[in-house]
Chain A
Amino acid sequence: SQQGEEDPQALSIQEGENATMNCSYKTSINNLQWYRQNSGRGLVHLILIRSNEREKHSGRLRVTLDTSKKSSSLLITASRAADTASDFCAANSGGYQKVTFGIGTKLQVIP
């Protein structure tokens, strides 16, 4: 079963708008990661937040983590057409680097 579940499953916005996607997970984690997949390609790591962090920024990305609610959100500011992709959250738990991926949010940014 999926550890992470993203919400919404699909999102369509105009270029320049902000996009927010949420992720819920089930078990205690070491960290929560976000990945991006462009159509037909492998996943690319976007950002990682550790279980003892509450918020992290990287460029136009802002991720938050609420361990009490077992949830995370990814905010993409000033979206661009190039952000059109599927974004996945991935929860890392246990002693190794294994992560469990959610089903993803398909983001469409309309120019």
Chain B
Amino acid sequence: DAGVIQSPRHEVTEMGQEVTLRCKPISGHNSLFWYRQTMMRGLELLIYFNNNVPIDDSGMPEDRFSAKMPNASFSTLKIQPSEPRDSAVYFCASNALWASGEQFFGPGTRLTVL
């Protein structure tokens, strides 16, 4: 298995632009998590899905952030409009609800908003 796949790996955009981050979880996993990591705030859980259904989005910072999981093999995190303070590394992780709890992380998307 290729592991969790995220794209793009790097994104540089200008303030006000829409940004879409993509994630493909490991096949067979039914939970998917989006995290944001910054020096100031550490690793924050933004939202997680179970069987494609959003379970907890309390970590989504503002209405500018939205996430979807249209099927078991794909999820997106969208920021519209983007702001410089959104600059961070965004990680996607997946696991199987019936398994031990270990989460498998993707390589992350480094977002820079100018």
Contacts and interface: CB of A to CB of B under 8 A. Distances in A.
Interface of A: 2, 30-31, 33, 35, 40-45, 48, 88, 90, 92, 96-104
B55 interface: yes
B75 interface: no
Contact of B42 (A31, A48, A98, A104): A104
The secondary structure that dominates the B interface is strand
A42 B91 contact: yes
Contacts of A2: 42
Interface residues of B, number: 24
B102 A42 contact: no
A97 B43 contact: no
28 contacts: A30-B101, A33-B101, A33-B102, A33-B103, A35-B105, A40-B108, A41-B107, A42-B4, A42-B91, A42-B105, A42-B108, A43-B103, A43-B105, A45-B103, A45-B104, A90-B103, A92-B101, A96-B50, A97-B97, A97-B101, A97-B103, A98-B45, A98-B55, A99-B45, A99-B103, A101-B35, A102-B42, A104-B43
Interface string B33-75: 1010000001101001010000110000000000000000000
A5 to B, nearest CB: 10
B82 interface: no
